[in-house]
């Protein structure tokens, strides 16, 4: 079985407060994008095996795909083994939820392959046991997200724009990034205002409210983030922001010429440069 694992961007991310359990309360606008990993999953005699097109992906129990497959096998008494082949296109330590997207894709694939007929709500609950971003990746729908990232309030409105994704060579550790946040001096974007702008099809309203509390601490670790952001605006993009805890930066535009101009500028200057779009029903491809 072949399945696509779609990445995401944070159009807005606010770290609201720190919890007693060490996690942080968040409010975010998360959007799936067309950039994706390609996964082939099949039955085998026994066990769980993973192969990848890059050495950067662990193929043992450290891999999120392994962890969710193991839970599904145990919980639903699946005796068949699972073989997973993944072709990675989503970079690691980028803030694009690549690992979570892969885990969600395996959940959906196993549900279909073994005729379990589980609801997306059930798959999301299983995914939450492994990672906070997996529930969002199960649904692959734009959402207002809060809690630690597991509480989803879907925004049932299409939002169309092109994205240029540029990631510096150096990634950002999510844990280090959160540890460096100073909530007293941090920028807190207008999350509810952005949600309203999307619902009103107000593109400029979305651009005006781009913001990420985690951006400043990430800038302190990876200076290229700021360089990329500034250059995107200079090239004519309407807005630019670091996604998640970084280090990937995206530029927003509704002009294909500006998208191409940006791609040509950054191509070969940074190790990861891709053209993408916000994922809607009109540009989704399912297998």
What residues act catalytically? Answer: 8, 133
Taking CA 11 as the corner, what is the angle to CA 54 and CA 217, rounded to the nearest 5 degrees? 75
Distance from C-alpha of 107 to C-alpha of 86, rounded to nearest angstrom? 14
Backbone phi and psi for residue 236, each to the nearest 5 degrees, phi listed first: 110, 5
The runs of H, that is alpha helices, within the chain are: 64-75, 98-113, 120-128, 134-139, 174-179, 191-199, 203-208, 215-221, 224-234, 256-266
- The single-letter DSSP state of residue 71 is H
For the record, the structure tokens of 57 come out as 């992906």
Per the CB < 8 A criterion, the answer to whether 265 and 235 are in contact is: yes
- β-strand pairing of 143-147 with 151-154: antiparallel
Alpha-carbon distance 70 to 101, whole Å?
A: 17
Q: Is residue 17 within 8 Å of 215, Cβ to Cβ? A: no
């Amino acid at each position: 079985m072949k399945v696509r694992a779609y990445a995401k961007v944070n159009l807005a991310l606010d770290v609201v407060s720190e919890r007693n359990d060490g996690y942080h309360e968040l409010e975010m606008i998360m959007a799936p994008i067309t950039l994706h990993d390609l996964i082939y999953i099949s039955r085998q005699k026994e066990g769980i095996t993973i192969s990848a097109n890059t050495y950067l992906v662990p193929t043992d129990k450290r891999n999120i795909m392994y962890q969710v497959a193991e839970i599904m096998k145990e919980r639903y008494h699946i005796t068949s083994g699972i073989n997973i082949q993944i072709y990675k296109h989503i970079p690691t330590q980028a803030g694009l939820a690549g690992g979570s997207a892969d885990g969600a894709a395996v959940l959906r694939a196993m549900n279909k392959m073994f005729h379990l007929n589980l609801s997306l709500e059930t798959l999301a609950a299983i995914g939450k046991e492994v990672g906070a971003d997996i529930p969002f990746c199960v649904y692959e729908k734009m959402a207002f997200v809060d809690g630690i990232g597991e509480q989803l309030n879907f925004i049932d409105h299409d939002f169309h724009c092109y994205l240029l994704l540029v990631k510096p060579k150096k990634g950002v550790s999510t844990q280090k990034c959160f540890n460096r946040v100073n909530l007293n001096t941090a920028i807190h974007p207008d999350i509810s205002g952005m949600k309203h702008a999307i619902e009103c099809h107000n593109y400029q309203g979305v651009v005006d409210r781009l913001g990420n509390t985690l951006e400043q601490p990430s800038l302190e670790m990876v200076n290229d983030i700021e360089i990329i952001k500034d250059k995107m605006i200079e090239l004519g993009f309407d807005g630019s922001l670091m996604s998640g805890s970084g280090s990937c930066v995206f530029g927003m535009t509704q002009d294909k010429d500006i998208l191409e101009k940006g791609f040509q500028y950054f191509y070969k200057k940074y190790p990861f440069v891709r053209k993408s779009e916000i994922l809607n029903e009109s540009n989704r491809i399912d297998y």
